[in-house]
Structure 1
Amino acid sequence: MKEDFLHYIWQHQYFSKAALATSEGEPLQVLRVGFYNTDAGPDFREAVLRVGNVEWSGSVEVHLSASDWHRHQHQHDPKYDQVVLHVVWQADVPVTRTDGSLVPVLELQHRVDLGLLQTYQMLQQARSVIPCAAFWPGVPEITKTGMLARALAERLEEKGEEVLQVYRSYGNDWEQAVYHTLLRGFGFKINQQAFEQLAKALPFHVVRRHQHSLLQLEALLLGQAGFLTDAEDAYAQQLQREYTYLRHKYKLEPLQRHQWNFLRMRPANFPTVRLAQLATLLHQRQALFSKLLEADTVKEYAQLLQASASEYWQTHYTFGKEAKHRQAAMGKGSVHSLVINVAVPVLAAYASHSGERTLLDKAIALLEQLKEESNRYTRHYEELGWRARSAADNQAALGLYNRYCRPVNCMRCAVGNKIMKKHSPAL
């Protein structure tokens, strides 16, 4: 058993109230359960209880065993002096506040319905990737649809917060935040980490000074990525000369070539090609942040994030090796991936920052209009009969999996909640 089960039991009051009393024998009445606290401190705040004849307002702390109070050193932490009730599965020891006063304890192990406990244990011990797979078909569609909508909103909030953290870490510079997000997006999962490291190794203030020159942008990006150490042809040598000067000027330290992945990739997706496409985009789309806010349709966003590599890279995949066929522009799927992983998070971030709800609505609308291939995570839901109709559905499924299914956080999921109630006759 984990504490989240007891949080769930307390929050929904799924326990017997018959002759409810503390472990000391004082009559107990719950007037308000309190608000679940996700920050440091007691688990539920602003609870209201009546212990004996006295009404108390304060916090509720939840543990599996009362002795966890001492194991976590709460008896020495003033934040826990406001606790008016200690809810536990087993009351093995009395607990005190910093001043030595006793904290009332409520023991639940004999008050919880056996069916509820068994259902919880089945979910926790399930061997399937989706813990509730065996119950999923019996859950009402409206419950699943509502939970997926919530998971999508939480995922957008999470993605937006990632952009906001970059924005704050670089002195509240939105263009820098977009640049970092753009490079991460150009990693397309396989090289995502390397592109993110490149964003740190090549600051945007350096890029901004050279956006007028495509040659210098290619030299900076390919040089900082570690691809100009051995110039294999005349063009590479030209880039190397530019990079050597710029590296010295800005005191840059490049990444290593081995940090990039070329294995099991189509040549059109090689990081060298992606970097050349990125250079063109940065050259042609200056002040990208404002353009991302102003665009409206999927077509406009696709045009904004579409980029063809320079002439050299239309006939090469790597330096010194000419391709058999001329390179086409960035594919539709890749462009749509950038809309999903760059434009949408930036819109979500600025919506949160500015309070402009219309930008969040725009982000959701973009996802609803885009198709996105299923992946190894969303396919688990497809096997249960669920079908994604848009990128919004896929993003919702990813959010549901990452936040609830993978950590077996069924108690915080509406689907898990419905299963718990359905298979517990006493509720």
Structure 2
Amino acid sequence: MEQLLHYCWKHKMFPLGALHTTDGQPVEVIDAGLHNRNAGPDFFNAKVKIGGELWVGNVEIHDKSTDWFLHGHERDDHYNNVVLHVAGVIDAEVRTASGLTPPQMQLDVPETVRRNYEELLKADNYPPCYKIVPTLSRIRVHSWMSALETERLERKTDDIARRAACCQSSWEAAYFVTMARNYGFGINGDAMEQWAMNVPLGAVGHHRDDLFQVEALFLGQAGLLDPLSIPERHREAALADPYYQRMASEYKYLAHKFGLQPIDHHLWRFLRLRPQNFPHIRISQLARLYFLRKAGLSQLIDCEDVKSAQRMLATSPTDYWQTHYAFGCESARSEKRLSAASVNLLLINTVVPMLFAYGRHKRDERLCDRAFAFLDQLRAEDNHIVRMWKSCGLPVDNAGDSQALIQLKNEYCDRRDCLRCRFGYEFLKG
């Protein structure tokens, strides 16, 4: 319950009545201090009056005061500046490495807070705070969702920065990898990212005016031109397919020219995947986008509104794939264009985070502001997370709201991290 003690101290959720040290001196908490989640005392620069005298320093909190010794604080100089030791149970006197004995105070968690916290942890309904949501003011909800929206963008910024670092600091390549990952639409996202990291854009650039060669390089690097990647029941027809033969031959030439190695074709997942989502289709769509020079970072930066970004991402596979889902597997002719819903998801998960991340990288607030403006203009996602929160009474007006609610579930609810959630705070205080 130490986390709950931290929470009560941080938010000054104290039991009714005066606070006292173990030797009877009155305690007044003026400033709980800055919560430290790293090594060292739990709260920095707290201000407390003890016996009428103001102390400024650090506060350490434990379930039991003997935990001070269990954690080795009596040998750690970082704890020499502790001005107050707070514990749920006082069962020993504590001592610092400098030989001082800081005053101690027993802190009892208010019964209402304890009961509400246990209810949150044990609740079968999801989310556990559903009862409090309809009672929250619009301003309080908006404030928390705005913070969550920014949190999610910052997490995605970290992912993009990591990709840029893996691509020798190339933000152009990081954008391509990010776009490719989101073309996997979840189930093949990891494979698409690994494939994109394995696509030598410098080499592809020498052939970008030839769509067939671009597609051959893309599909070849995905391992999808390997005969063993073709299901056995379709292999004979595929190997006899003139288009497959031309493409395999072209890739063999290009792979030798540039010294390329494909990824393992076993990475791709097809089970319960709709044919229009097969990696062959998605990669062909990306090949056309690249060929049309719509997959570059400069083209993204030039998009000043949602409609221009939607036009930029609109694409369909090459002619062969409009009558096939896989090599040797014919289908009724269909343009297989990205649906409006798919383009919306790509804008939310690729365009917006990239604008925000690149804006941060370049210290260009205009790009960051544009990212938020796009989220305000885009339709909210329709998935089980958003529907769950809607059923609790939360408004979901745009993509910014849906992104905030996804962040809330993934980073707070799933981890039962109610003590860091503003909705959880409202629930706990009753």
TM value normalised by structure 2: 0.88
SS of the equivalent of 1:377 reads helix
User: Residue 264 of structure 1: which of 272, 275, 279 is its match?
Assistant: 272
What is the deviation of 1:193? 1.3
- The letter of the residue matching 2:60 is E
Aligned match for 1:381, one of 367, 385, 389 = 389
Question: Which whole-Å CA distance do the structure 1 matches of 2:269 and 2:295 have between them?
Answer: 30
Higher relative contact order (CA 8 A, sep 6+): 1
- Letter of the 1:161 counterpart: D
| Helix, strand or coil at the partner of 1:168 | helix
Q: CA RMSD in A?
A: 2.5
**CA distance in structure 2 between the aligned counterparts of 1:100 and 1:169, rounded to whole angstroms:** 49
Give 1:77-156 correspondences, 5 Å limit: 77-109=76-108, 112-156=109-153
Q: Distance in 2 between matches of 1:309 and 1:147?
A: 41
Change (3 A) 1:62 1:243: farther
Which of 397, 400, 403 is the aligned partner of 2:408? Answer: 400
Question: Superposition pairs for residues 232-381 of structure 1, below 5 Å?
Answer: 232=239, 233-285=241-293, 288-381=296-389
Are the counterparts in 2 of residues 268 and 327 from structure 1 also a CA contact under 8 Å? no
Q: Secondary structure at the match of 1:324?
A: coil
Q: Structure 1: any 5+ residue segments left out of the alignment? A: none
Aligned residue pairs: how many?
A: 419
Q: Answer with 178-187 or 46-55: which moved more.
A: 46-55
Q: Distance in 2 between matches of 1:316 and 1:224?
A: 20
> How far apart, CA to CA, are the structure 2 residues paired with 1:343 and 1:153?
15
SS in 1 for 2:223: coil
Q: Give 1:394 deviation, angstroms.
A: 1.1
Q: Following the alignment from structure 1 to structure 2, what is the Cα–Cα distance between the partners of residues 29 and 414?
A: 25
Shift of 1:369: 1.8
Q: SS where residue 131 of structure 1 aligns?
A: coil
**Aligned AA (1:330):** L
- For residues 78 and 300 of structure 2, the distance between their equivalents in structure 1, rounded to whole angstroms, comes to 44
Q: Which residue of 2 aligns with 1:178?
A: 175
Render the CA deviation track for 1:367-411: whole Å, top value 9, x for unaligned. Answer: 222224421212211222334222222111111212222222222
> How far apart are 1:108 and its partner, in Å?
0.8
Moved more, 139-148 or 187-196: 139-148
- CA-to-aligned-CA distance 1:195-239 (integer Å, 9 cap, x gap): 122123335444445434323322222122221111622222222
2: CA distance, partners of 1:229 / 1:291: 33
> Which consecutive residues of structure 2, in runs of 5 or more, have no partner in the other structure?
228-237
- Residue identity in the other structure for 1:185: N
* C-alpha separation in 2, matches of 1:269 and 1:359: 31
8 Å contact 1:139–1:419 — kept in the other structure? no
CA contact (8 A) 1:179 1:204 kept: no
Against the structure 1 CA distance between its residues 412 and 215, is the aligned structure 2 distance closer, same or farther, given a 3 Å change threshold?
same
- What code does the residue aligned with 2:263 have? L
Match runs of 1:185-200 below 5 Å: 185-200=182-197
Question: Are 1:155 and 1:395, in contact at CA under 8 Å, matched by a contact in 2?
Answer: yes
CA apart distance, 1:251: 4.3
Alpha-carbon separation, structure 2, partners of 1:185 and 1:218:
19
Task: Work out the percentage of aligned pairs sharing the same amino acid.
Answer: 39
CA shift digits 1:224-258 (9 cap, x unpaired): 22211116222222222232344345444422323
